[in-house]
Structure 1
Amino acid sequence: MEWIKELPNGMQNYLRESFGEIKEVQRLSGIKANGGCFRFKFKDRSVIIKWMTNSQEYIFYTRCKPLLKDFSIHIPSLYLSYCNEGSYWIVIEDIPHILPKERWQGDDKVIEALFKLHRETWGKALPLEEYYVPRWNDEMTESVLKLYDDNTATLLEPLLIEVQSQFQQIIRAVCWINGDTNPTNWGIREDGTVVLFDWERISMNNPTIDISITMPGLGTSDNSLEKAIANSYLKHWGENPCFSISQHELIKQIKVVKIWTAVEFLAYNWNTQPKDTIRWIMEELISKLYEFKKFI
């Protein structure tokens, strides 16, 4: 509860006047940069307060969200925003339910929501001066190869370089993307609406990135989940010429993006995450690289 004193006076007044006495404050995970994420509980409801030193998510809620219509329902409601001397706060809706694990396998409501975001923003500039850009450079490839023994690295190098080349062909700024659509970033309202509540990686790029990251892990060995996600997404686009791509090509892109997520994670987190986690991802990456070689 001591953290309440760190809130700007205007926010403290707003919370008291709007929701009453604060009953409990829970610190949550969810801010990747400096800052904090908290659930404030009141007598009859709760809200989420995010404090950030990076303005990305603050600007998304204050500048980008008002420009969205169809997709807006899939974003938490913004109650209050505040900025002062390099610190940013937002007070947003607390989504009551997490997306259950049985809906982590290409859930059609999730895919449909992302389709709304991509269709609605197709070709529209993102009103941010700076934003996250998915990338896979040679330094990332080299960093990952150094994690393996020499013999394994020698075998993997041409496979990694091939997928890296494929990734470069995918990257293009065609619509807004969330950039971090993994299943743990989705919630469900009481009325069943799916809501995406992490917007630190808002970007403008290929929508395949968003639909790929909804898939847990690095995908399936028989491509069954990749196929289900591709079919669901293509169904929503129908005959729209904006996203004219074959099922096979979309599955290939999904596989490329999932491999990129592993490369990005290993390149930047190999020395900060548990060794068992890193070891598992390294082993999975080997399997996925050979699976991709057979697929193409």
Structure 2
Amino acid sequence: MLAKDLSKMGNARVSVEVLDGINCVLKQDASEVEIHFYQTAAQNLKGVNSPALVKLDGNNLFIEHIPNRISLQELRAQPDLFVQLASLHRSEYFPSFPVKKHEWTDDATDEALRILNLPNSAESSIKRVQSLSSCIFECKTLISGDTNDGNWGTRDNGELVLFDWERFGHGSPAIDLAPLVTGLGTISDYKLIIGEYTRHNALLPDAELLRHLIIAKCWIIIEVVNILVSRNNPEQKKYLDWYKTTIPRWLASVKESL
């Protein structure tokens, strides 16, 4: 049996396995959201490429192995990246199962700020952004919730596929756009990605989507910091040091666009 652990930030243990002579991905203890996604939602999301369901054994999910990893730079160059995301965000499909509830809690902020130990001005700015954040969670748009480049790949025929759906739920399209910006990004970076995306889905005005993107980026900081520490990620010091250096300057640079 071939088994290579692929898990990074997720809860499930993920490996490549051989099933009946075919390579597939096994997610052990997959979440109910992701199991229901592959059983029910995937076939209802037209224009969105996700792996085929191979087998379900209790909470062990066997799905099509997407063989070719892709960097963020390569992902952004894919011509159908924003076409697929726009198709997801425009979908009228309504899940018949409970999806991931995205939220930004005071407890999460307090814990991340304790870990980061930022200057008081930066802490105040993050709390202000949180106070504005309800807009990105109240949207009824379907989202992946986790579009970072590590969750994309290509089939051997070149098709682009998104293969991690445990955070499938509702929210602003900005939640799916934010991970596609390198690092924390700049206002120019956000405007560039908004321009690419709105060619395919212009439901939100550019200024509103920009505001949502900044909020989503700030929320992702809180999420990632807490995940790094709670799961004892071996690279946590590197990422936390980078955040501590970068966050104050970034907050100052986006303040006027909120």
Q: What is the aligned partner in structure 2 of residue 27 from structure 1?
A: 5
How many angstroms apart in 2 are the aligned matches of 1:101 and 1:181? Answer: 10
Query: Structure 1's 251 and 31: CA in aligned 2 closer, same or farther, altered over 3 A?
Result: closer
Unaligned runs of 5+ in 1: 2-23
For residues 64-85 of structure 1, what are the alpha-carbon distances to aligned partners after superposition, in whole Å with 9 as ceiling and x for unaligned? 11322332xx1011122222xx
Other-structure match for 2:160: 194
Q: 1:79-90, aligned counterparts within 5 Å?
A: 79-83=54-58, 88-90=59-61
The counterpart of 1:249, out of the listed 180, 197, 208, is 208
**2:95 corresponding residue in structure 1:** 126
Q: Distance in 2 between matches of 1:44 and 1:187?
A: 21
Question: 1:57 Cα shift?
Answer: 1.4
Q: Which runs of 4+ in 1 moved over 3 A?
A: 41-45, 104-108, 267-271
Correspondence for 1:158 among 124, 133, 156: 124
**Separation in structure 2 between the aligned mates of residue 53 and residue 96 of structure 1, nearest angstrom:** 20
1:290 aligns with 2:252: yes
Instruction: Work out the CA distance in 2 between the residues paired with 1:44 and 1:234.
Output: 43
TM-score by length of structure 1 reads: 0.77
Aligned 8 A contact 1:259 1:285 in 2: no
Alpha carbons 2:113, 2:123 under 8 Å: kept: yes
Superposed displacement of residue 184, structure 1: 1.0
* Percent of residue pairs identical: 26
Question: TM-score of the superposition, structure 2-length normalised?
Answer: 0.87
Q: Secondary structure at the match of 2:121?
A: helix
- The residue that corresponds to 1:68 in the other structure is 45
Match of 1:47 among 20, 24, 45: 24
SS of match in other structure, 2:190: helix
Q: Which residue of 2 aligns with 1:5?
A: none
Does structure 1 conserve the Cα–Cα contact (< 8 Å) formed by 2:67 and 2:155? yes
Deviation at 1:163, TM superposition (A): 0.8
Is residue 110 of structure 2 the alignment partner of residue 146 of structure 1? no
Larger RCO, structures 1/2 (Cα 8 Å, 6+ apart): 2
Given that 2:89 and 2:142 are in contact with CA atoms closer than 8 Å, whether structure 1 keeps it comes out as: yes
Distance apart, 1:41 and its partner CA: 4.2
Question: Judging changes above 3 Å, is the alpha-carbon distance between structure 1 residues 66 and 105 closer, same or farther for their aligned structure 2 residues?
Answer: closer
AA of the residue aligned to 1:89: N
Secondary structure of 1:49 counterpart: strand
Unaligned runs of 5+ in 2: none
d(CA) in 2 for partners of 1:42 and 1:236?
38
Check if 1:98 corresponds to 2:60: no
Alpha-carbon distance in structure 2 between the residues aligned to 1:79 and 1:29? 19
